[in-house]
Each structure stands twice: as structure tokens, then as C-alpha cells.
A and B are shown apart, each in its own frame.
Chain A
């Protein structure tokens, strides 16, 4: 097995590493780059906690090999805050109690970001369906849905 050189842009910063091809993208982000904001839950594509944006689209980083991200642009939860200001989604999660333990939150935020970019005016049902790929065991989802509704309004008015 040979090491592969990968070059990825994560949160607008370029990283290069030599890695084994079997290294999952989720483990690459956490162990190689030290970006531990991306959480790893089930590691087989059920819980959604490890969701990141790959070239602008939400994807589960435990279902991608890091070598596949060669040349890609990624966004993780660490990339949401800008100039010391929470992203409108983060602010809305804070205000609407969209999190308790916080474990699912990075996956929720990046899933919601893709959802709102694809559909800036989602109905409550569309939000629930859009977030159904991320499991939260604390909140009962109510606060999360309210937060995404509020963030949708905030993001539309900031445009």
C-alpha cells in the first residue's frame, strides 16, 4: 500500500498531507488537520454528525475517503464563523435552543446550510425532511427546526 499525497482546501486554507488511502475524510479532518469540530458518531452513514460541505454540497465525511477529497474545497463547522461573528445559522441555534449536548450540531449546521442554499424559503416540513439525515438525541428537534426557520429569514434579509 502506497501513501498518497492529497491537497485540500478546508475553510479557505490549503493543506497537504501524505496519507493511506483507507483514511476516512472524517478521520483526516480530525486527526491529520486537528479540526475536531467535525464529530464522528456512527461511522457508517446513519447519524449525520460528520456532515461537511464538499465543493459546496453536504456530504458525510465518514462515507468518503480522504484521498477522494484531493483538489476539493471543504467547509467544516470551524469555517462558519467570520470576523468573530457567529454565522446566522449558529446565532439562530444559540437563540432558539437548537442544541443541548452539541454533538450533532456541526452536522446539523452544515446540513442546514446546504438546505438553505438549495431552498432559501423552506416550509417546516421541508426543514424536517432536509434535516432527517442528522440524528439528535437531546432536543426533540423542535428548537433545531425553529432555529433553521429563523436562520432562513436572517439569511434572506442579509442578501
Chain B
């Protein structure tokens, strides 16, 4: 036996899950895809007294296309589904592009959207994508709910705005803006490894071809998804060019992140990767916004 003993609850409805969580609160952990939680339980780094398995909640495993062009994605939607569902590809192409970078197929077969967001690993793809897409997260508790913007949800390393009695149940994505482009890229030592640096970006253009809005959200360069607002401001209002893209890449990598080095990548090397990735990602995103790619 690897994990320490726990009581196992597998509620059949969200209401029952919320009730169980209200009863056990801080002693309980929620089990989604288990691809991060079960390893730490195997190491006994996590020893929850109660495990509440969300895998029987079919109501959290569905995708709905909103009339306004947005999407509502249940928190227990598997990453494999995000990768393959045509509605994701059409309405959230940035998410569609990012999912194949998440670990490996075996992991994506089990891993869920909500699980990855609630785990809040700063090296994970989905938190950065959620911030870049201006996702809104629906948090339920027994007898109530609230909505939180993705950028307010991530509070630090493996830490979120979730209270002990709340469950992340749904992710709402707004429709893509007109004349918008996107791109996701990351650098990892081997395919499927955690990214040394990654970037989720979205841009949109006005009628004159100037950048109307830019969003640059990095992973693996801080304790949470790191958005480079100053770099985005350098782009906004200007006609995209190699010069504006290079200026944004310099700004973001030098002034708007504070990466921690590790044995594989020093902080300086991560800044270098961030600068290079920013240029590649922005070129691709602007080309898509212009309909060239």
C-alpha cells in the first residue's frame, strides 16, 4: 500500500459532493483526474483523512456552446476531450493548441481541466491558458456559488482562491474577439516534460490593422501564471512589426518576470527562452489575426 489510509466517498451528484465537502472541509481532498494528487499520496506527502472522488459526477463532464459564441466547460472534462472536441478547436483555439503540450496521452486520458486549474502548478499549461482566455471560474459551495476571474484565482504556488468548502465546477470562456489570433508554445527538455518556459498569447487587431489588445501569459517563470501587461501595452495601438514584437519580448523577459533557476535552466536562460518564445508566439498570433496563417 502506498497511500496512507483514508475514507473514500464517491458521490453520485454535485449536491452530495458539496455536502460531503461541507462536512469534512479541511480534512478532505477532492479527487479529479488524480494525475497530481495520487503521486503525492503515494509519496505520503498528502495524507487526507477523506477522499471525495468527483469522477462519478457526469454533470461536471460536459461542454456547452453558448449562444454568444462562448463555451461552458465542466470542470471534470478530460484533457483528452479538450484536445478532440471540435467546439474547443473552433471557439477556443488557444486551448486546443495548448492541450497536446500537457504531459502525455495517458495523463490526458485521465487528467481534467478543473483538476489542473485547482492544482495551480505554475509550470502547468491550463492555468496560463485560462488567464490568457480571460476565463471565468464558477466555484460552488453547499447553498451558494461565486464566479472568479482566472487571473484572480491563482494566488501562488499550488494555491488558489478556493475555500476549503468550495468546488470548481465550471469554466466559462468568452467568445473570441473579431480579428483575433493566438499561439501557444513551450520549451521542454523532452516531449511531455514540464516546460522550462511556456507562453499562451492572444492578440486582436482593429480595422486599421493596429493591435487592439494583446495578452501574454507565461508559465514556469514565477509562482503562478505570469501576465506581462507592460509588454502588451507596448504592442497595443501600434501596427505589429518585427520591432514592436522585439520590444515586447525584451520588456516581458527583462522586467515582468522573476524566474527561479534550477539545475536544467538558470534564471538568465529562462529569460532568454522567454524572449525567443515571445517573438515566435507573437509572430504566429499576429499572422493568424491577419488571416495569414
- Seen from chain A, the residues whose Cβ lies within 8 Å of a Cβ on chain B are 1-2, 4, 20-24, 27, 43-45, 48, 51, 54, 57-60, 62-65, 67-68, 111, 114-115, 118, 128-130, 132-133
* Contact call A21/B191, Cβ cutoff below 8 A: no
Chosen A-B contacts, 30 in total, with CB atoms closer than 8 Å, are A4-B8, A20-B5, A21-B51, A22-B2, A24-B38, A27-B2, A44-B43, A45-B38, A45-B107, A57-B80, A57-B109, A58-B106, A59-B109, A63-B38, A63-B39, A64-B34, A64-B38, A65-B8, A65-B53, A67-B10, A67-B53, A68-B53, A68-B55, A114-B106, A114-B109, A128-B191, A129-B192, A132-B191, A133-B105, A133-B192
Docked-complex contact A22 and B3, CB < 8 angstroms: yes
A89–chain B nearest beta-carbon distance, Å = 16
User: Is B260 interfacial (CB 8 A cutoff)?
Assistant: no
User: How far does the Cβ of A93 sit from chain B's closest Cβ, in whole Å?
Assistant: 19
CA distance A62 to B43 in the complex (A): 12
Smallest distance from the beta carbon of B220 to chain A beta carbons, Å?
18
Are B105 and A115 closer than 8 Å at their CB atoms?
Answer: yes
Using a CB–CB cutoff of 8 Å, the interface residues on chain B facing chain A are 1-8, 10, 31, 34-35, 38-39, 42-43, 51, 53, 55, 80, 103-107, 109-110, 190-192
Known: A58-B105, A128-B191. A43 touches B42 (CB 8 A): yes
Minimal Cβ-Cβ distance residue in A for B190: A132
A23 CA / B1 CA spacing, docked (Å): 6
What is the minimal beta-carbon distance from B225 to any residue of chain A, in angstroms?
23
Partner of B106, one of A20, A24, A60: A60
A59 to B104, CA, bound (A): 10
When the two chains form their complex, are residues B105 and A44 in contact, meaning their CB atoms are under 8 A apart?
no
Q: How far is the CA of A22 from the CA of B42 in the complex (A)?
A: 9
- Complex CA distance for A15 and B1, rounded to whole angstroms: 20
Name the distance in Å between A5's Cβ and chain B's nearest Cβ. Answer: 12
A1 lies within 8 A of B6 (CB): yes
Contacting pair A43 B192 (CB below 8 A): no
Q: In the bound complex, do residue A44 and residue B192 qualify as a contact, i.e. CB atoms below 8 Å apart? A: no
Least Cβ–Cβ distance between B27 and chain A, in angstroms:
14
Residue of A nearest to B110 (CB): A59
Residues of A within 8 A of B6 (CB): 1, 21-22
A48 cross-chain contacts in B, Cβ below 8 A:
104, 106
Q: What residues of chain B lie closer than 8 Å to A54, measured between beta carbons?
A: 109
Beyond the given A58-B106, A64-B38, could you list 19 further A-B residue pairs with CB under 8 A, ordered by the A residue number? A1-B6, A24-B2, A24-B3, A45-B35, A48-B106, A54-B109, A57-B109, A60-B106, A62-B2, A62-B42, A65-B8, A65-B38, A68-B31, A68-B34, A68-B55, A115-B105, A118-B105, A132-B104, A133-B192
In the assembled complex, the CB of A137 is this many whole angstroms from the nearest CB of chain B, namely: 15
In the bound complex, residues from chain A placing their C-beta under 8 Å from that of B8 are 4, 21, 65, 67
> B1, B35, B53, B110: which contacts A22 (Cβ < 8 A)?
B1
| Min distance, Cβ A98 to any Cβ of chain B, angstroms | 19
